[in-house]
Amino acid sequence: MASAPADDLYLAAHDGIGGRALLPRQVLGVALGAALLGELMFWGRVGLAGDALAVIDDRPTADQAASTVLGMLRQPSSSLGPREWIGHLSTVIAPALVEQRLTAAGVLRQETKRRLFSSEVSLVFTDPRSPGEPATRIRTHLSYNQPLDAADLMVAGLFLATGLDEMVLDTINPRDRARLQEQFRRNLPHPLHQLVAHALGLLR
């Protein structure tokens, strides 16, 4: 895992030069919600129990975003299934958590634009090349027929679910796209496959 999947997804969904989002905020929120839940599965904190999410290890993590989501999942009143949790996180929670994490890591920074009677604060990328790195890594692995790890497979699956692949994987040829579909089908663990499917279901 090169970096946290939700971070990679956020990066890939933005233009590095102007910081413009390539996806509507609601669509990006769904993908980020699924990716944050996927991170907890990678770290063995959450699993699927039938149609429900089950907390396996409720100890706080060293990551603030993951710990926040884990704290929500372990509340006694929490009885939502994966799709409902993705929808709940997608509103403002998931984008805000990922932006906070990227800002703390120095990937994003605040920029203030002053106007005549007001000022506007926005987030910009410290390195305008960083948004292109996740998709470039995935394209390179596919072109050399190298296996993607589970994190990159989940991110690529969320590219497909959101339509982001049409913008960031548009240069891969039919052979490489077939390789991606085959790896996704064969190598992505079932719980992560389900998260991608739930995200797709919310976006239809």
What does the alpha-carbon distance between residue 41 and residue 123 come to, in Å, rounded to a whole number?
Answer: 29
Reported as a single tens digit per residue, the pLDDT across 64-103 is: 999 999 999 988 766 789 999 999 999 999 999 999 999 9
The pLDDT-based confidence of 193 (bands split at 50, 70, 90) is very high
Angstrom distance (rounded) from CA 171 to CA 7: 22
Radius of gyration of the chain (CA): 17
Q: Is the pLDDT of residue 120 over 70?
A: yes
Kind plus residue range of the DSSP H or E element containing 113: strand 108-114
Judge whether residue 126 has pLDDT over 70.
yes
- In this prediction, residue 168 carries a pLDDT of 96
Domain residue limits, the chain: 5-203
Architecture of 5-203 per CATH? Orthogonal Bundle (1.10)
Is the distance from CB of 123 to CB of 109 less than 8 angstroms? yes
